[in-house]
Structure 1
Amino acid sequence: MANQSNSLDNTQTTAKLETGSRWYIVVLLALGTAINYIDRVNFAVATPTLMKEFGLGTAEMGILMSAFFWSYTIAMLPSGYLLNKFGPKKVLGFAGFAWGTVTMLVAVCVGFYSFLALRIGLGVTESPAFPANARVVSVWVPKRERTFASSIFDCCARVGGAFAPPIVAFIIAAWGWKMSFVVTGAMAVVWAVWWLLSYHEPADHPRISKSELAYIRQDEVITDTGAVHVEPIPMTRLATYPVILKATLAYAFYLYVWTVAIYWIPTYLMKVRGLSLKEMGIAASIPFIVAVFMELAGGKVFDRWYRKGASITQLRRTGMGIGMFGAAIAICMCMRADSAFWAVFWLSAFMGIFAFGASNVWAIPSDIAPYGQAGGVGGVYNFVGNFGALFAPMVTGYLAASKYGFNGAFAVCVAFSILGGLLFIFNRYERLKPKAA
C-alpha cells in the first residue's frame, strides 16, 4: 500500500511538470461558457432599448426572457442523451455554431413574435453546454482538482455577465442594438471551430503524457485492457435516485435566483435606481466581476479542504449552504438600500457569496455520475433545475410591474435561497451505482 501511495504521489508531481493538457481543455471550456452567457445576457442588456423601440412592456419582456428557458429546459434531456451517444466534441461544437448563428439572426427581428421565435431557438441550441461541461470535467479532471475546474467554467458564466453589460452597451451606443447581436453571435461561431479542432478524449489526446493520463484517472477502476471500468445507468432510471432528486430541486431554486440576477439587474438599475445606459453598463458589471474572483477563490478553498481530508459531501454541503444563505441576507440588504451606490454594493455582496458557494454547484453531477455518464446526469440536473430559471423572468416581470415592484420580486429570491440551501445541505454526494434488479 505504501508503494502504491508513493507511486501515486510521483505520478501527480510528474503530471504537473510534464503536461497540463487538462487545464487547456478546462480553459477552452470556460471560454465557451463565457460566450454562451454573453449570447444569452446580451438580450437583457438591450432590453431597455428594445422596450423603447418596439413599445414592449415589462411583462412582455419577461415572456421573451422566459421563452429561452422553455426550449432550453425541454431540450436538456435529449442533449444529455446526445452527449452520451456522440460525445462532447461533436455535440458542443455543433451547438456553438448553431447558437452563434441564432444570435446573429436576432438583428433582423421586427417585433415581439420574431424575438420570441429566436429566443426559443437560442434555448434549444445552448442546451448542451452545461451537461457537456460536466461530462468533460468528469473524464479530464480528478476529484482533488474538480471543484476548482468546475468553478473555472462556472465562473465564466459570471464573466459573461460581467463583460456583457459594458460591451453590449458600448456597441448599442456606437452602432445600434442590431450590431450587438451580430458581434456576440460571431464570437460563438469562432469558438466552435476552435473547439472542434482542439478537443479529444484523454486517452486520444495527442499531447497528453502517460503520467498525466494516469493522474486524471486516479479515482477510477482501470481494467486489464487499460480502459476505465464503467457501470452504466440508463437515463430513464437516473431520476429515481434520491441524491439526484434533492440536488435537482435545490438547483432549481439556485437557478431561479441566478436568473433573476442576470436578466433583471440591468433593468432594475435603470428603472428603479435611475442610472443611464452608460452608467448601467458599468454598474451592472461590478457584481459579476466580484462573482468571478469569489468563485475562483471558492474553487481553490474547497479543493484544498478536500486534499486535507474533507469528504465530497462535506464540501458540497458547506459550500452551497454558505452561498445560498449568504445570498438571502445580502438580497435583504439590497432591498433596504437607500441609494444606487449601496444597491450596487449589496448586489455585489450577494453575487460574491453566491458565487463562492457555487464553485461546487457544477461539480455535483461529476461527483455522483458513473464514469462517462456525467453528460446524462448533467442533463437531468439541468432539465429539472431549469424549471426555476424558466419561471424566474416571467414572475419577476409580473411582480416588477405590480404594486409589489422589484422588492416583491427580490423577496421571492430570498425565500428560494433559503429553501435551496436547506436542500443542498441535507443531501449526500456519492457516486451512483446501478440498483439491484
Structure 2
Amino acid sequence: MSELTQGGFRWKVRHTILSIIWAGWLFSFLDRMVISIALPFIGKDLNIDATMQGGILSAFFAGYALFQIPGGMLADKFGPRKIMSIAIAWFSVFTTLTGFVSSYSIMLFCRLVFGVGEGCFPGASWKMIATYFPPKERATATAIQSSVNTLGPAVASLVAAGIIASYGWRHVFIYLGFPGLLIAALMWYYFRDNPAKHPKITKEELQELNIDQVQGGHDTNSSGITFKTFLTKPILWQMVLIWFLFDITFWGFVSWLPSYLMKVRGFSLIKTGITGSIPFFVGTVGMLVGGYLSDRIKGQRKWMFIPNALIAGFFLYLTYSVASADMVILYQSVSAFFMFLAMSAFWGLVMDTIPPHIMGSSSGTVNFGGQVAGFISPFIMGYLIDANQGSFDEAFIFLIIAIIASAAVAFTVQQERSVSEVKV
C-alpha cells in the first residue's frame, strides 16, 4: 500500500494491519449480529417463544465467553497471526452452517461452536495492536477497531433486513460466511508476530516502536510481569467487573433492539432495518471521538467513562418511556453516542494497564467478563419480556441498572498506571 505524506501523515504497516483487523472485526460482528434481525423469523420458523429465542443468543455467548481467556493465552504462546486466521476461518464456516439449521437443538449447538471460534479472536487482535502501535496511539487504534461494535450492528441491520425481505433469514447466514475466509487468508499472508520480521516495515517505524527492546514480538521492557502475577492485581478485576456490567447493557441494547422496534413500536421489517441502524452509526462517531479524546487525557480515562455511562443510562430510560415512536430513535441514538464514547475510554484504560507481552491473555480475561454478560443479558431480557406479557419496560430497567453499576465500579479505580509502572 502506498505511503501518504500529505498533512504530515504517512501510511505505515501498522495502519494496514489495523485495517485488516478492522475488516475481521466487522465481519465477526455481522456474523453474530444478523441473528438479532433474524430472530423473530427464526422464532416463527422453529416455533419457539421469546425465552427460547434468548437462549439462541446466549448459546453464542457461552462459547464466546469460555474461549476468551484460552484464545488470549494461545495468542500469547503461538502468536496472534495464527490464532486470528484460524479463528476467522472457523467462525465463518459456522456462520454459513447456521443457514441450514432446521431444529432448535442443532441451532443451539451451531451457535455455541460458532462462539468458540469468535472467542479466540479478540485477545489476539488486541495483542497485535499492542505489538505494532506505540503507546501514544493505542487508544485511538483500539477505538478504530472497536468502531465495529457500533458499525457492525448498523450494517447488520441494513444488510439483514434487505436479504430477509427478499430471500428469507437463512440466506443471510449462508452468504456472510464467505468473506471471512478471504480475510483469514489475508491475515495469514500479510501479518507477522514480530514487527522486525515484517518485509514491508521501515526502519523509521521500527524506531517508533522501540524495536530494540522487543524480542519475538514481546515488550521485554514493560515490567517482566507474568499473566499469573497480573491476575492478583485488583485493577484487572475492577476492569473485568466494569466490562461485565457495561456489556449487560450493551448486549441487551443490541440484541433486542430490532424486536423492540417491531413488536412494541410497530415498525415494519424494512423500517426497523433503516431506523434501527441510526443509533449505531451515531455510536460509531461517539466511539471514534472517545478514542481521540482518550489518548489526549491519558490518566483521566475513568472520568471520561463515568459521566458518559450515566448519560447513556438516562437516555435509555427516555427511550422506553417516551410515547412518540420517532423520539425513540432520537433517544436511542443519543444513548448510543455516550455509551460508545464511554466504551472508548474504558478500552484506553485497558490498553494503558496491560503489558503488551501478556495482552492476549489479560485482555481476554477482561473481555471474558463482558461475554459472560452477553450470555446472561439476552436470556434475562427474554425472560423479563415473557414475564411481563410482552412489555419491554422491566428489561430496559435491567439495562439501566447495569450501566449505572458499571459507573459506580469505575469510581473505585484508584489510579490509572501505564504498563511501565505496573510492578511485580
TM-score using structure 2 length: 0.92
Q: Residues of 2 paired with 1:272 and 1:207: CA distance? A: 53
Aligned residue for 2:195? 202
SS of the equivalent of 1:360 reads helix
The answer to whether the Cα contact below 8 Å between 1:138 and 1:367 also exists between their aligned partners in 2 is no
The residue aligned with 1:274 is 266
Of 94, 106, 128, the residue aligned with 2:98 is 106
Aligned partner letter, 2:354: A
Query: Could you give the per-residue CA deviations for residues 252-295 of structure 1, whole angstroms, max 9, x where no partner exists?
Result: 01111110111100001001111111111111111111111121
Q: Distance in 2 between matches of 1:159 and 1:238?
A: 33
SS at match of 1:56: coil
What's 1:50 paired with? 42
Using the TM superposition, give the Cα deviation of residue 81 of structure 1 relative to its aligned residue in structure 2, in angstroms: 1.1
Shift of 1:140: 1.3
**Equivalent residue for 1:214?**
207
Over residues 133-182 of structure 1, what are the superposed CA-to-partner deviations in whole Å (9 max), with x where a residue is unaligned? 22112111122222211110111121111100110111111122111001
Contact 2:139–2:351 under 8 Å retained in 1: no
> Do residues 429 (structure 1) and 416 (structure 2) align?
yes
Name which of 397, 401, 408 aligns with 1:411.
Answer: 397
Question: Please, which of 24, 29, 35 is the counterpart of residue 21 of structure 2?
Answer: 29
Matches within 5 A, 1:33-112: 33-112=25-104
Structure 1 residues 110 and 232, CA, compared in 2 at 3 Å: closer, same or farther? farther
Q: 1:186: Cα distance to partner?
A: 1.3
Give the deviation of 1:318 after TM superposition: 2.0
Corresponding position of 1:399? 384
Matched, 1:348 2:333: yes
Partner residue, 1:384: 369
Contact map agreement 1:106 1:115 (CA 8 A) in 2: yes
2:289 corresponds to which residue? 297
Work out the CA distance in 2 between the residues paired with 1:106 and 1:413. Answer: 28
Matched, 1:365 2:365: no
Instruction: State the distance in 1 between where 2:356 and 2:104 align.
Output: 44
**Kept after mapping to 2: 8 A contact 1:34/1:158:** no
Q: Which moved more, 1:164-173 or 1:18-27?
A: 18-27
Segments of 5+ residues of structure 2 without an aligned counterpart are none
Partner Cα separation in structure 2 for residue 361 and residue 33 of structure 1: 18
State the SS of the aligned residue for 1:109. Answer: coil
Q: Is the 8 A contact 1:323 1:358 kept in 2?
A: no
Establish whether residue 252 from structure 1 lines up as the match of residue 239 from structure 2: no
Q: CA deviation at 1:96?
A: 0.3
2:315 partner SS:
helix
CA offset digits 1:393-431 (Å, max 9, x no partner) = 011001111227211111111111111012223313322
1: CA distance, partners of 2:127 / 2:327: 40
| Worse-superposed segment, 205-214 or 389-398 | 205-214
Contact preservation (8 Å) 1:92, 1:132: yes
Please tell me the residue identity of whatever aligns with 1:411: I
Which moved further from structure 2: 149-158 or 319-328? Answer: 319-328
Structure 2 CA distance for aligned equivalents of residues 227 and 67 of structure 1: 36
Conserved 8 A contact 1:400-1:408:
yes
* Cα shift at 1:299: 1.5
**Equivalent residues of 1:69, 1:386 under 8 A apart:** yes
Structure 1 residue 331: deviation in Å? 0.6
Partner of 1:263: 255
Structure 2 counterpart of 1:262, one-letter code? V
Query: 1:365, 1:377 within 8 Å by CA — same for their partners in 2?
Result: no
Q: How many aligned residue pairs are there?
A: 413
> Matched residues in 2 for 1:87 and 1:143: separation?
20
Q: Secondary structure at the match of 1:189?
A: helix
Query: Are the structure 2 counterparts of residues 196 and 222 from structure 1 closer, same or farther at C-alpha, using a change threshold of 3 Å?
Result: closer
Compute the displacement of 1:19 (Å). 4.7
Query: Match of 1:321, SS?
Result: helix
Report the aligned-residue RMSD: 2.2
Amino acid at match of 1:84: D
CA distance change for structure 1 residues 271 and 19 in 2, over 3 Å: closer, same or farther? closer
Q: Residue in 2 aligned with 1:284?
A: 276
Query: CA contact under 8 A between 1:256 and 1:388: conserved in structure 2?
Result: yes
- In structure 1, what residue type is equivalent to 2:200? R
Q: Distance in 2 between matches of 1:17 and 1:158?
A: 26
Q: Does 1:335 align with 2:335?
A: no
Shift of residue 233, structure 1, vs aligned partner: 3.6
Query: CA contact under 8 A between 1:286 and 1:348: conserved in structure 2?
Result: yes
| Distance verdict in 2 for CA 1:40–1:18, change over 3 Å | closer
For the residue of structure 2 that corresponds to 1:363, the secondary structure is helix
Separation in 2, partners of 1:238, 1:387: 21
In structure 2, what is the Cα distance between the partners aligned to 1:101 and 1:50? 20
Q: Could you tell me how far apart the structure 1 residues matched to 2:293 and 2:253 are? A: 25
Give the conservation status (yes or no) of the 8 Å contact 2:76–2:358.
yes
Contact 2:62 2:115 in 1 (8 A): yes
SS in 2 for 1:273: coil
The 1:202/1:252 distance shift into structure 2, 3 A limit, reads: same
Q: Is the 8 A contact 1:317 1:426 kept in 2?
A: no
